[in-house]
């Protein structure tokens, strides 16, 4: 992977203007000598203030993902804190398999992913969202996924439930039903 291979103008356009594109630009600025950015590259004060509430950080531990950080907007939307929990403790069935596939792909290929879907919480209104997933790698080899969740679409647009990957479209990762529980 080279830095140029993930600085994809088409992917940046898909993000639109605002906090998603600003955060992606920050992530791209951390690409050096073919290496992925690290957590230090995206920490405040570099991280746009508008991104903090919708930000999250997962660490890949073996084949599982542990939430290390969950912004206040996410905790409010899910009705609970997520930090410290493993993804397989929060999601089940197809939602878990779809999310894990996207997360593993982002880390394995070193590319960001953007996808849209509906947040499905039992007994609550379904809420459209977009999620930006960006891989990070520490010098010690630990791997993280940093990203944002936005609960409103640009211009009220609820995009089709599909995934976009920077610089490569992988039909295996099309999200047909991105419902999350």
* Mean pLDDT within 75-83: 80
Domain ranges of the chain: 3-173
pLDDT of 174 reads 32
Is residue 15 packed enough to be buried (19+ CB in 10 Å), middle (13-18) or exposed (0-12)?
buried
pLDDT of 7 reads 67
pLDDT of 121 reads 59
Q: How confident is the model at residue 124 (pLDDT cuts 50, 70, 90)?
A: low
* Residue/partner pairs of 151-158 with CB below 8 Å, 24 or more apart: 151/54, 151/73, 151/77, 151/119, 151/127, 152/128, 153/116, 153/128, 154/16, 154/18, 158/116, 158/128
Domain 3-173 sits in CATH at 3.30.450.20
Give the range among 24-28, 97-101, 171-175 with minimum mean pLDDT: 171-175
* Mean pLDDT within 26-45: 90
Q: What is the pLDDT of residues 135-154, one digit of tens each?
A: 999 999 999 999 998 876 44
């Amino acid at each position: 992977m080279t830095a140029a291979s993930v600085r994809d103008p088409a992917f940046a356009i898909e993000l639109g203007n605002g906090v998603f594109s600003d955060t992606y630009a920050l992530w791209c600025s951390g690409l050096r000598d073919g290496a992925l950015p690290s957590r230090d590259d995206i920490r405040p004060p570099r991280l746009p203030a508008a991104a903090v509430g919708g930000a999250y950080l997962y660490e890949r531990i073996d084949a599982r993902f542990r939430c290390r950080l969950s912004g206040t907007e996410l905790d409010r939307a899910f009705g609970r804190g997520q930090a410290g929990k493993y993804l397989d403790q929060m999601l089940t069935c197809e939602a878990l398999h779809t999310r894990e596939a996207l997360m593993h792909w982002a880390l394995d290929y070193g590319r960001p992913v953007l996808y849209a879907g509906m947040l499905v919480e039992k007994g609550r209104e379904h809420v459209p969202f977009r999620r930006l997933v960006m891989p990070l790698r520490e010098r010690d080899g630990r791997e993280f996924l940093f990203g944002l969740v936005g609960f409103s679409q640009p211009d009220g647009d609820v995009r089709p439930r599909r995934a976009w990957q920077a610089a490569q479209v992988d039909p295996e990762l099309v999200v047909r039903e991105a419902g999350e529980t």
